Amino acid sequence: MFWDARLRAHPQFRVAVRDFLPQWPGIAAWGLMTGVTMVKSGMSVWEATAMALCVYAGSSQLAALPLIAAGAPAWVVLATGFCVNLRFVVFSLHLRSYLMHLPRWQRLVAGYYSTDNTYVLFTRRHPEAAQAPEAREAQQAYLAGLSAFNWASWMAASLLGIALANFIPPEWGLGFAGILCLLGVQCSLASSRLRLLAAGVASVVAVLVYALPYRLNIVLAIGAAVLAGMVMEETRRRLPGVRS
């Protein structure tokens, strides 16, 4: 990870920083609004700071806030946090092949620092896990660069948001920059018709079952879209005449 000076000195570390730069404004705005929202939901400055520094998961933080404010039982807050984070369970299945050569504690650290942005950017630049030692080191350096800058940008913005909470009205909706950022990443991933199909299926399902508790709509949408992509891929393999 990024405390390893050898990885920081690796050229891929700088490539990661360059790739991360377009994400920066979105992360910063999203972190800023999460910081503001934590304090506005009734948390003390210390609680909000502890949450920003430890939890490091914007969507699960935002989902937990109304439950904490309402005095919901701790297990409900934690279960909600886990369900909102279920997409990361899917990502961890994918990241496994890139990380299994590391000792367990390093894998857990890498897991802690992986976010939507780092996962998408990492797997976009490195679609396959490397096997050779040098190639593995390059991938680890790239991941370390993404993790370091994502973490630093998010933390700086969150802490700034906590400090400025009383000056920025949440009604401005600056957090929408985070959504626009994800939208841009989506466009960059739309490289095949099957991926567009997956996007369409996921969108429709996520809206249709939006009323499910704990943001389970996201989990169902991912499952349906992955299934649709795989079924169409199989169908195309059997019917070579069908255009991709």
Partner 1 sequence: MNALPVDVTDGWTLGVIVGLSLVTVIARSFFFISDRDWPLPHWAQRGLQYAPMAALSAVVVPELVMSQGELVTGLDNARLWAAAVGVAVYYWRRDVLQTIVFGMAVYLPLHIGWGW
Judged by CB under 8 A, the chain residues 183 through 242 that form the site for partner 1 are: 183-190, 194-195, 198-203, 205-207, 210-211, 217-218, 221-222, 224-230, 233
From candidates 15, 47, 125, 126, binder to partner 1 by CB under 8 A = 47
Rounded to the nearest whole angstrom, what is the least distance from the CB of residue 140 to partner 1 in the complex? Answer: 14
Structure tokens at 56: 């490091």
The Cα–Cα gap between 142 and 95 comes to: 14
- Residue 64's Cβ-count burial label (10 Å; 0-12, 13-18, 19+) is buried
Q: Which residues within the stretch 18-37 sit at the binding site for partner 1 (CB under 8 A)?
A: 21-26, 29
Cβ proximity to partner 1, 15 vs 228, nearer residue: 228
Q: Which residues within the stretch 148-187 sit at the binding site for partner 1 (CB under 8 A)?
A: 171-173, 176-177, 179-187
By C-alpha distance, which of 237, 169, 224 is closest to 197? 224
Q: Which residues within the stretch 90-119 sit at the binding site for partner 1 (CB under 8 A)?
A: 90-97, 99-100, 104, 107-108, 110-112, 114, 116, 119
Rounded to the nearest whole angstrom, what is the least distance from the CB of residue 198 to partner 1 in the complex? Answer: 4
Q: Which DSSP letter does residue 10 get? A: S
Q: What is the chain's percent helix, strand, coil content, to nearest 5?
A: 80, 0, 20
Q: How many residues interact with partner 1 (rule CB under 8 A)?
A: 98
Rounded to the nearest whole angstrom, what is the least distance from the CB of residue 148 to partner 1 in the complex? Answer: 16
Q: Is 89 in the site for partner 1 (CB under 8 A)?
A: yes
Cβ proximity to partner 1, 9 vs 42, nearer residue: 42
**Per residue in 6-35, is it b (16+ CB within 10 Å) or e — as a string?**
ebeebebbebbeebbeebbebbbbbbbbbb
Q: How many CA atoms lie within 13 A of 100 on its CB side?
A: 9
